[in-house]
Amino acid sequence: MQWCDRNEQIIKWSSEEVVIPYKSPVDNRHHRYFVDFKIKYRDKSGKTRVILIEVKPYQKTMPPEKKTKKTKRYIQEVMEWGVNDAKWRAAIDYCKDRNWEFKILTEKDLS
């Protein structure tokens, strides 16, 4: 994260520091979600803000296309999407309670 280290607007950043509880739709149990990055920065107006960032391949940020044949791979993709969606909903609520922002970045954002 050299970009964070070199960016003058960034006050502080950390990796996998924030832990957010969420309930998995796969096993109906509570788990812990370790968000990739927490960044505290100064916006253009000088106000201090916090953003949580998750980095994922673009393909993993979309629900799988419905298929008529329910293969093991398809079932795995559906379960993975369900867990990710539950994590991200929990992160959005967590951030909303703290007046923070949550964002998912993909290779399309980083290229």
State how many domains the chain has: 1
Q: Is the pLDDT of residue 66 over 90?
A: no
Q: Is the pLDDT of residue 104 over 90?
A: yes
Confidence of residue 30 (pLDDT cuts 50, 70, 90): very high
Predicted TM-score (pTM) of the model is 0.90
For 43-74, letters b (16+ CB in 10 Å) and e give: eeeeeeebebbbeeeeeebeebeeeeeeeeee
Which amino acid, residue 74? Y
pLDDT the model gives residue 98? 98
Residue 9 is part of which domain span? 2-110
Can you tell me the mean pLDDT for 56-82? 92
Structure tokens at 1: 């994260």
Can you tell me the mean pLDDT for 71-86? 95
What 3-state class would DSSP assign to 18? Answer: coil
CATH number, position 35: 3.40.1350.10
pLDDT the model gives residue 2? 87
Confidence of residue 111 (pLDDT cuts 50, 70, 90): confident
